Amino acid sequence: MFFEKKDGIVYKTVTGNDYCQVARLLCDSFYSATPLSWPLGGPLAPAEVETVFPQLSVIISHRVSILAFDADTKEIVGVRLSVLSDRESRCSPSDPLLDSAELAARYPKHSRLVQLEQHLDIQADCLARYRVSRAMIGRFLAVKESHANRGIGGRLVESSVRLAKVLRIPLVIGTSHNVYSHRIYRSLGFDCIYSVQFRDYTDKLDGEKPFVALEDTEHSEAAVFAYRL
């Protein structure tokens, strides 16, 4: 169990008791804020990403996710949700939008994000690249706007690395879709092992380039970062 307090913010392992607040934070500070939503017509509403909520319980059960909460108000203000990926047991959960064409058609915006994530996973091929049997893979990194620019995102990633050391997990992975997360991972010594410009990325389901509108913004690429312990 990870637990640390710094500058009035407590960092700890996510548990099942945190489910509701973490789900709310994902909706308010990730899906409604990610630049990936801009070309898709704007912020993704909870009803458009509801397939993630059953998965959230599975992600939390891996016990490698870290949240940040305000020590005074007890409000959760940031989270880094991670899963364990194990070459032998394949314990990293599969997304239902990858397994069901019907679901993908019902949730087209969310499906675009999930397809991108799968593309990054396949191209990075982290376990094979580093010849390790398991890794901690960060799926979401989100901080409330009210607590932005306080270093919370960076400390969440740092906390993940420290937890990985305690658990003897040899590799920490972070996927990033915006320049802010890129900067965090680079500043903490992560190596960029794969990146794709949005002008070049094609959704394999229909051959379209759903994020090409981001080409001329500062958020022009998605990337995978790795830290070898």
pLDDT tens for 129-156 read 999 999 999 999 999 999 999 999 999 9
> To the nearest whole number, what is the mean pLDDT of the chain?
94
How far apart, in whole angstroms, are the C-alpha atoms of residue 156 and residue 12? 9
pLDDT value for 61: 95
How far apart, in whole angstroms, are the C-alpha atoms of residue 93 and residue 120? 16
List pLDDT tens digits, range 79-113: 999 999 986 544 455 788 998 889 999 999 999 99
How far apart, in whole angstroms, are the C-alpha atoms of residue 227 and residue 58? 24
Of 65, 58, 83, the closest CA to residue 11 belongs to 65
Q: Which value, in Å, is the radius of gyration of the alpha carbons in the chain? A: 17
Give the residue carrying structure tokens 């710094």. 6
Contact 21, 31 (CB under 8 A): no
Give the residue carrying structure tokens 């270093």. 151
List pLDDT tens digits, range 181-226: 999 999 999 999 999 999 999 999 899 999 999 999 999 999 999 9
C-alpha 103: how far from chain center: 21
pLDDT value for 90: 45
Report the greatest alpha carbon distance in the chain.
49
How far apart, in whole angstroms, are the C-alpha atoms of residue 101 and residue 122? 19
pLDDT value for 79: 98
By DSSP bridging, strand 134-143 and strand 76-86 are antiparallel
pLDDT value for 91: 45
List pLDDT tens digits, range 110-124: 999 999 999 999 999
Contact 224, 124 (CB under 8 A): yes
By DSSP bridging, strand 66-70 and strand 9-13 are antiparallel
- Structural fold of domain 3-228: Aminopeptidase (3.40.630)
Q: What are the domain boundaries of the chain?
A: 3-228
Which tokens hold the place of 135?
């890794």
Task: Tell me how far CA of residue 152 lies from CA of 92, 104, 159, in angstroms.
Answer: 26, 33, 10
pLDDT value for 228: 98
